Amino acid sequence: MALTRFSVSLDSDLVGRFDARIKADGCPTRSKALGDLVRESLVRREWREGDEVAGAIVMVYDHHKSDILRRLTAVQHDCHEVIISTQHIHLDHNNCLEILAVRGEAAIIQGIVQRIKAVKGLKHITLAAGTTGREIA
């Protein structure tokens, strides 16, 4: 992979805050930090523009809640072409963590999240929006 050097002019206070942040995050260089920010921006664009994307839907629920397992399973079966893998973890006697690996059109994935959010008894759900990696280096 060829590297390109370019210069950027920024307010010195902004650079100072940026340097403090990347140091606290353990990032080795400004170049690495800027590259991460650019890639993050490109991934957000993929989601906005409806490209094929990948990600993870993470949810926590009490498996004792009436009918929750059947309703979550029904959504997953309805969306089998987008859900490529699942992982189920028993957090304790009552609570389960479930992770759905997804790949497909951004709008369809966001629709799945909305359908799951509507399931009564769900304690938490979040979407980790990722990328297939084809559009970014």
pLDDT tens per residue, range 79-123? 999 999 999 999 999 999 999 999 999 999 999 999 999 999 899
For residues 82 and 104, the answer to whether their CB atoms sit within 8 Å is: yes
Name the residue with tokens 């399973």: 73
Residue pLDDT, tens place only, 14-49: 999 999 999 999 999 999 999 999 998 999 898 889
Tell me, yes or no, whether 111 and 70 share the same domain: yes
Please give the residue range of the domain that contains residue 44.
12-48
Classify residue 3: in a domain, yes or no.
Answer: no
Rounded Cα gap, residues 52 and 57, in angstroms: 16
Please state, in angstroms and rounded to a whole number, the distance separating the CA atoms of residues 28 and 115: 41
Burial class (CB in 10 A: 0-12, 13-18, 19+), 59: buried
| Domain containing residue 64: CATH number | 3.30.70.1150
